[in-house]
């Protein structure tokens, strides 16, 4: 089974800090995604990537950037953290025949 690992389960950062959220997959899947999930707002796509060094904006890319230097790693960067970026961040990948996404366990980020 594909495993997607997010580096931190919980993070607390200060306003204005640069924050890196790391996501690593252990299979050779091209497609990787970053979402944030907030109560009542469901899953919202921030960025996605179909290949190394390739990135596409999702629905809410403002305040975020991403990096995909290697196929297995897709990083989300908060350039200058703000309190409205307090959220659950979920990384996922896809590439199997059943079209299913495999999600990491999530990072609950609190910006104070």
Partner 1 sequence: GQSLEQPSEVTAVEGAIVQINCTYQTSGFYGLSWYQQHDGGAPTFLSYNGLDGLEETGRFSSFLSRSDSYGYLLLQELQMKDSASYFCAVYMDSNYQLIWGAGTKLIIKP
Which residue reads 């896809």 in tokens?
A: 94
Which residue from 102, 110, 111, 112 is in contact with partner 1, where contact means CB under 8 A? 102
Could you tell me the smallest distance in angstroms from the CB atom of residue 10 to partner 1?
Answer: 11
Which residue from 50, 69, 80, 82 is in contact with partner 1, where contact means CB under 8 A? 50
Could you tell me the smallest distance in angstroms from the CB atom of residue 101 to partner 1?
Answer: 6
The count of chain residues that interact with partner 1, using the rule CB under 8 A, is 18
Contact indicator for 95, 27 with CB cutoff of 8 Å: yes
């Amino acid at each position: 089974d594909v495993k997607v690992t997010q580096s931190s389960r919980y993070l607390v950062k200060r306003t204005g800090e640069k924050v890196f959220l790391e996501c690593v997959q252990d299979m050779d899947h091209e497609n990787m995604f970053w979402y944030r999930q907030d109560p009542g707002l469901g899953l919202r796509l921030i960025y996605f990537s179909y290949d190394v060094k390739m990135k596409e904006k999702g629905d809410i890319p403002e305040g975020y950037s991403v990096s995909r230097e290697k196929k297995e790693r897709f990083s989300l960067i908060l350039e200058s953290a703000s309190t409205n970026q307090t959220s659950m961040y979920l990384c996922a990948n896809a590439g199997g025949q059943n079209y299913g996404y495999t999600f990491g366990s999530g990072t609950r980020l609190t910006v104070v």
